[in-house]
């Protein structure tokens, strides 16, 4: 019997998850083992389910797809990430590949292309949407080791706090999500202001949008 490729679907839109599940489960060699609606849930599911493939939406609440991919790689959690986005932004493509993703596709990709991409990545090969140019691939191969673009000198925890602030969460809610004290959240907020030379809550939000930590 052919081994099935296990897949985790990560997207904050239920209708997208349902559509992807129906498509993938129509294939005899695919099994959808889980779904996640935000980045934190994606991390938990990846750790517990250990899927072969993680279909990762980039714009997710609580923790975006880029930071989720970085944490999966940093923690050595198996599962080959294929990024899904409504945009074919070259900077985001570079950052996702540098974070460890092995595929990048826009959400208008044909079903057959996505299915083929999953099989390609399962074999350990990189798969990119046809819309992604050869120039971007070559640029990544040359510079990925030195051009992993992260917000300026921020720690992973600071990036998490920054996303939650920009999404409109108050300190008490952030403390609960991250399982830290409100005082610690306040310290992170102060450190963010100092490191980034920002002066207001609005400045933090604008920075997060500019760096694609959140999208509007």
In the sheet that 5-10 helps form, which strands lie side by side, from edge to edge? 30-36, 5-10, 53-57, 80-85, 103-106, 127-128
Single out the residue of 42, 48, 50, 41 nearest to residue 83, CA to CA. 42
Give, in order, the Cα–Cα distances in Å from 50 to each of 47, 76, 80. Answer: 6, 11, 10
Q: pTM of this prediction?
A: 0.75
Per-residue tokens: 157: 């925890």
d(CA 76, CA 71): 8
pLDDT tens column, 43-76: 999 999 999 999 999 999 999 999 999 999 999 9
The DSSP secondary structure of 98-150, one letter per residue, reads HTT-SEEEETT--HHHHHHHHHHHHTT--EE-TTS-HHHHHHHHHHTTT----
Q: Cβ atoms within 10 A of the Cβ of 151, count?
A: 19
Cα pseudo-dihedral 106, 75, 37, 130, rounded to 10: 10
141: pLDDT strictly greater than 70 = no
Return all residues near 99 (Cβ < 8 A) that are at least 6 apart: 66, 69, 70, 73, 81, 148
pLDDT given at position 131: 67
Tell me the three state secondary structure of residue 196: helix
| Percentage of the chain lying above the pLDDT 90 cut | 61
DSSP code, position 83: E
| Percentage of the chain lying above the pLDDT 70 cut | 88
Averaged pLDDT of the chain = 88
pLDDT tens column, 25-34: 999 999 999 9
Of 23-27, 155-159, 212-216, where does mean pLDDT reach its minimum?
212-216
Backbone phi and psi for residue 179, each to the nearest 5 degrees, phi listed first:
60, 45
pLDDT given at position 182: 95
User: Is residue 119 within 8 Å of 73, Cβ to Cβ?
Assistant: no
pLDDT tens column, 69-101: 999 999 999 889 999 988 777 778 878 888 999
Per-residue tokens: 90: 């070259």
Considering only the C-alpha atoms of the chain, give the largest distance between any 2 of them, rounded to a whole number of Å: 61
- Hey, which residues does 111 pair with through a beta bridge? none
Greater pLDDT, 204 or 42: 42
1: pLDDT strictly greater than 50 = no
Domains of the chain (ranges; CATH) run: 5-143 (3.40.50.2300), 156-210 (1.10.10.10)
pLDDT tens column, 96-134: 888 999 999 988 889 999 999 999 999 998 888 766 645
């Amino acid at each position: 019997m052919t081994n099935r490729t296990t897949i985790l679907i990560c997207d904050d839109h239920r209708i997208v998850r349902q559509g992807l599940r129906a498509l993938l489960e129509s294939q005899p060699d695919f099994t959808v083992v889980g779904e996640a609606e935000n980045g934190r849930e994606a991390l938990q599911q990846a750790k517990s389910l250990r899927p072969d493939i993680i279909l990762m939406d980039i714009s997710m609440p609580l923790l975006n797809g880029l930071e989720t991919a970085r944490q999966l790689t940093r923690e050595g959690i198996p599962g080959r990430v294929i990024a899904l986005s409504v945009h074919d932004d070259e900077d985001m493509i570079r950052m996702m590949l540098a974070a460890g993703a092995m595929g990048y596709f826009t959400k208008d990709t044909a079903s057959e292309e996505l299915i083929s991409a999953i099989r390609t990545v399962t074999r350990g090969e990189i798969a990119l949407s046809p819309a992604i140019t050869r120039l971007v691939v070559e640029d990544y191969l040359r510079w990925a080791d030195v051009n992993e673009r992260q917000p300026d000198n921020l720690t992973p925890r600071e990036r998490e706090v920054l996303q939650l602030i920009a999404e409109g969460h108050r300190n008490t809610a952030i403390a609960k999500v991250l399982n830290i004290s409100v005082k610690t959240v306040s310290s992170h907020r102060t450190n963010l202001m100092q490191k980034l030379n920002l002066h207001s809550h609005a400045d933090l939000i604008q920075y997060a949008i500019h760096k694609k930590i959140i999208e509007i």
